[in-house]
Structure 1
Amino acid sequence: MSGGSRRSWGWHPLVDRWAERVVADAGVRAGELVVDLGAGRGALTRHLVRAGARVLAVELHPGRAAYLRERFADAPVTVVSADAREVRLPGRPYRVVASPPYGISSALLRRLLGPRSQLVAADLVLQRALVRRWIGHNRRWELRAGTDLPRRAFAPPPTVDSTVLVVRSTRRPR
């Protein structure tokens, strides 16, 4: 993905006040393991650290991954330079709070909600039309629409509307 503008390769980072709101709405607690898929330059990561989370920040772009390593060198953040669709997910209970690239959203959701997943909760900033297709309940997951984000919540703004997909496990904790 070298060359071209942010818009041409689909990178639309959240502005700080909206990143803060997404993390606050997620209800992240101190000590929780939270995966930030498509971490970019750390808009969500910053607020996850402030909430006391241990963060696994996944970023494909090598320059942004290096920036994250430097920015969060003294924080409980592990940066992995990998494709969010292929990164090894934790084998113990974890949460996801992320704004992944919209182009990988469906594949990412199928993976996160798979039968062996240790996911307990997720708050994902996704294209609103996709969120509407995924909302509902099944035996293992409750999926609902959360906060709507205006296009100005991103810099640069995307050409589509966005919403947080709230995912909660329906399994009882052991």
Structure 2
Amino acid sequence: MSAAKRRPSGRARNWSWNRLADAAARDLVAASDLRPGVLVLDLGAGDGAITRHLVDARARVVAFELHPERAAALSNRFASEPVTVVRADVRDLRLPTRPFRVVANPPFRGINAVIVRLTHRASRLERADLLVPRSVARVWSSRLDGTPFRMERAVAVPRSSFHPRPRIDVVHATIVRRSCR
């Protein structure tokens, strides 16, 4: 293993973070078609850009954030709101045992592991609205064939919607549970 890939045991990974602009967060939540009271996971919640709009949509939110200072700031910011902040790596998340949704701008590193977990046959996921690299959406649109889920759409999100701007193309990908027929 190269020195660049090694890390001291117990040390947190250095995840990159591309903060989502408020208008883009609002648009993502608006496009997610939420019902009041629905349980929604915000994976990689950062400073709460998406969380704020989920609360405004009257969702019950579980916000996952690995970075200790950001998790503490989220807890303080949403202390009087229906938000539970969990300090955890999104790849290690435990999924709810009841139906839930995901609306998130998750860390791009490890996103495949997150989608594997979300779309497992035992998952109670109803719908996920995720901002992901275009290449990831392309792969998963076919990888979901034969599973209880399908990729409904992948709409381009301007790089200017993030700070810092990502070097790759990003899309709003929607994964939905297939209807039982």
How high is the TM-score relative to the length of structure 2? 0.87
SS in 1 for 2:19: coil
1:124 equivalent in structure 2:
130
Among 145, 164, 167, the residue aligned to 2:175: 167
What per-residue deviation string (whole Å, max 9, x for no partner) do you get for residues 123-172 of structure 1?
00000111111114434112133321010000111101100110110144
SS in 1 for 2:93: coil
8 Å Cα contact 2:157/2:170 also seen in 1: yes
5 Å matches for 1:9-48?
A: 9-48=15-54
The letter of the residue matching 1:87 is: L
Whether 1:157 and 2:165 are equivalent positions in the alignment is yes
1:5 equivalent in structure 2:
none
What per-residue deviation string (whole Å, max 9, x for no partner) do you get for residues 9-59 of structure 1?
410011000000000001111100000010001011000000010000000
2:63 equivalent in structure 1:
57
SS in 1 for 2:166: coil
Distance 2:72 2:135 in 1: 33
Distance 2:154 2:56 in 1: 22
8 Å Cα contact 1:145/1:163 also seen in 2: no
Among 146, 150, 154, the residue aligned to 1:146: 154
Structure 1 residues 152-161 or 133-142, which shifts more?
133-142
Gaps of at least 5 residues in structure 1 are 1-7
Percent sequence identity is 45
Distance 2:154 2:86 in 1: 28
Gaps of at least 5 residues in structure 2 are 1-13
Q: CA RMSD in A?
A: 1.5
Count residues in correspondence: 166
How high is the TM-score relative to the length of structure 1? 0.91
8 Å Cα contact 2:29/2:103 also seen in 1: yes
Whether 1:76 and 2:82 are equivalent positions in the alignment is yes
The letter of the residue matching 1:153 is: S
